Amino acid sequence: MVLDSPYDVAEGGLAYIEAMESLPLAQTRLLRTAIPGPRSTTLHAERVQHVSSGFGVALPVFIDRAEGGILQDVDGNRIIDFASGIAVTSVGASNPLVQARVRDQLARFTHTCFMVTEYDSFTAVCEWLNTHTPGDFEKRTALFSTGAEAVENAIKIARAATGREKILVFDDAYHGRSLLTMAMTAKENPYKTSFGPFPGEVHRAPMAAPLRWPGGAENATVEALAGVEAVLAAQGADTFAAMVIEPIQGEGGFIVPAPGFLAGLRDIAARHGIVFVLDEIQAGMGRTGRMFASEYEGVAGDLVVTGKALGGGLPLTAVTGRVELMNAVHAGGLGGTYAGNPLACAAALGVFEAFETGDLLAGALRIEDTVRRVLEPLVTEDLPIVEFRGRGAMLAIEFADAATLEPRPLLAAAVAARCHARGVLVLVCGTYGNVIRLLPPLVIGQELLEDGLAVLREAVESVYADSTAGSTADSTAGSAVGAAAVRA
Ligand SMILES: *Cc1c(COP(=O)(O)O)cnc(C)c1O
């Protein structure tokens, strides 16, 4: 297979390509062809011949370069990135601080396996996480490669430390695609369908989701906590090793728990000797405008799991927590061939440097202000959008009938498809697939952000107008690329 450059000889040949690649990628949206364009279409047809069809794709375009808030495809289109590779490239997809450290590490060595011989960047990443995660107590950290692997290791640690087996998780939770984390994940399709049986001892409790709480948002915390106590009582509270929750749910639909719910859970866990685990894989590392989303609720986990943005695009995840828990595991009980790979650790040190020098948390709050100004009014207009929610640069709108809250997934898919066609990459999420989520890189420029939001706003209005005009927008427009929602 030959990967052609999008810049053909007619435009100046190799010298032109080299000149282009040394220039910063223009931070403007540009449509040179339809999306997907002819080169992407050809490459996608080839992909189908070689890649398992088990992998979905949100937008079948092939990327040539990415930087700041732009993904440039092989047809030369410049697409606004409201996905960040699912909350990964928060510091930008080609952040110079990350690139410099990875380049230097690449020249020295790529791998030793930390269980075979050591390197100090691993220690430095652990030290940073021990210092910056919430909780004023002595901590230790263990590094891994994927989020699911880190969540599983948090369970191993909690079991070793407590001598108990059971795990409590919540409605609408997402924790990964490995067998144990699939069991912990709530949504059946596409994550769990046909993949069982799953490991046992996973129990599910209500999540204080304000919008759909049957007793009303103002009662969600008290009633959901009572529901949690009921599940624990029925199963035997002292048989639970861990309680695991996302401080803001990701795949489940960017649901922010009702105020006080996280603190209430922490207190319940403490009362019953259950390890309280915060899965900050999607919401953490600055995404919400604080370094960790649980800071908004003043809550620290006994263990906290990080990933996604931690490695700045290289695979790196971590479990950080109380020293007495982290050191309760027998020597040799934790590890992994690639766990804390040197290139990934170098990248993470670049990510930390970007946060220390770049005021990225302020960037997330600026994004929230701008997005709120454009999208929040949609909730009060005559549109089937029932909530604008999230924090910082982790924001979403939910499509449902205003009166009945009946989810409108096809509308969300059609809006996403229209955004994609116009060069704005948004993702769909939610248990009902009816939520459009925005996860722009924290470094996205203001003009680019506003351009992308204007496209999204226009897409919402025009798709809704089409659907009420009796056209088929609601039933067919979503069958294109937008319906193939990507799942983290
Ligand atoms: C993405 C995600 C995971 C799984 O991470 P992988 O790296 O895909 O294994 C777990 N928990 C949350 C909250 C996530 O968003």
Residue 381 has what pLDDT?
A: 80
Q: Are residues 110 and 201 in the same domain?
A: yes
| CATH number of the domain residue 218 falls in | 3.40.640.10
The pLDDT score that the predictor gives to residue 14 is 55
Best residue among 177, 184, 282 to mutate for probing ligand 1, ranked by most atoms within 8 Å of CB: 282
Does residue 113 share a domain with residue 42?
Answer: no
| Residue at 186 is within a domain | yes
Q: What is the per-residue pLDDT for 468? A: 86
pLDDT at 121: 98
CB 416, CB 397: distance < 8 Å: no
User: Phi, psi at residue 487, to the nearest 5°?
Assistant: -120, 130
Q: Are residues 365 and 351 in the same domain?
A: no
| pLDDT confidence of residue 16 | 54
Q: How many CB atoms lie within 10 A of CB 204?
A: 16
What pLDDT does residue 225 have?
98
146 Cα nearest atom in ligand 1: 7
The C-alpha atoms of residue 398 and residue 1 are separated, in whole angstroms, by 41
Domain tally, the chain: 2
pLDDT at 481: 38
Residue 14 domain-assigned (yes or no): no
Strand duo 63-67 + 394-399: pairing: unpaired
**Same domain flag for 257 and 377:** no
For 228-234, which contacts have Cβ atoms below 8 Å and span 24 or more sequence positions?
228/168, 228/265, 228/268, 229/268, 231/168, 231/203, 231/204, 231/205, 232/168, 232/205, 232/268, 232/272
- Whether 315 is in the pocket of ligand 1, judged by its Cβ within 6 Å, is no
373 CB contacts (<8 Å, ≥6 apart)?
Answer: none
Question: Where is 306: in which H helix or E strand?
Answer: strand 303-306
Q: Tell me, yes or no, whether 77 and 164 share the same domain.
A: no
The answer on 207 and 62 residing in a single domain is no
Residue 20 lies in a domain: no
Distance 299 CA to ligand 1 centre (A): 21
Same domain, 295 and 282: yes
What CATH number does the domain containing 372 carry? Answer: 3.90.1150.10
CA of 153 from ligand 1 middle (Å) equals 13
Measured distance between the N- and C-terminal CA atoms of the chain, rounded to whole angstroms: 28
In a domain, 259, yes or no: yes
Quick one: pLDDT at residue 23?
77
Of 144, 170, 175, 254, the residue with max ligand 1 atoms within 8 A of its CB, to mutate for a pocket test, comes to: 175
Nearest CA owner, ligand 1 atom 8: 147
Last residue of a domain, one of 340, 357, 374: 357
Any domain includes 487:
no
Query: Does residue 18 fall inside a structural domain?
Result: no
Decide the pairing of beta strands 240-245 and 275-279: parallel
User: Are 404 and 338 found together in one domain?
Assistant: no
In a domain, 30, yes or no: yes
Which residue has the least CA distance to atom 6 on ligand 1? 147
Q: Return the ligand 1 atom nearest residue 282 CA.
A: 15
Q: How far is the CA of 441 from the centre of ligand 1 (A)?
A: 18
Mean pLDDT across the chain, nearest whole number? 93
* pLDDT number for residue 87: 98
Mutation test residue for ligand 1: of 174, 244, 429, the one with most atoms within 8 Å of CB: 174
The CB of 170 under 6 Å from ligand 1? The reply is no
Provide φ and ψ at 415, rounded to 5°.
-65, -45
Q: For a substitution probing ligand 1, which of 152, 308, 316, 394 has the most ligand atoms within 8 Å of its CB?
A: 308
Q: Are residues 40 and 114 in the same domain?
A: no
pLDDT confidence of residue 9: 43
68 Cβ below 6 A of ligand 1? no
Domain's final residue, options 357, 388, 405: 357
On whether residue 4 sits in a domain, the answer given is no
Let me know whether 251 and 347 are in one domain: yes
Given 357, 382, 414, the domain boundary residue is 357
- Residue ranges making up the domain that contains 430: 25-81+360-480
Q: Is the CB of 277 under 6 A from ligand 1?
A: no
Q: pLDDT 10s digit of each residue in the chain, 488 long?
A: 444 444 444 455 555 555 656 679 999 999 999 999 999 999 999 999 999 999 999 999 999 999 999 999 999 999 999 999 999 999 999 999 999 999 999 999 999 999 999 999 999 999 999 999 999 999 999 999 999 999 999 999 999 999 999 999 999 999 999 999 999 999 999 999 999 999 999 999 999 999 999 999 999 999 999 999 999 999 999 999 999 999 999 999 999 999 999 999 999 999 999 999 999 999 999 999 999 999 999 999 999 999 999 999 999 999 999 999 999 999 999 999 999 999 999 999 999 999 999 899 999 999 999 999 999 999 988 899 999 999 999 999 999 999 999 999 999 999 999 999 999 999 999 999 999 999 999 999 999 999 999 999 999 999 999 888 865 444 444 433 333 333 34
Helix/strand/coil for 89: coil
User: Do residues 128 and 146 both lie within one domain?
Assistant: yes
pTM to 2 decimal places: 0.93
**Do residues 127 and 162 both lie within one domain?**
yes
Determine the pLDDT at residue 416: 98
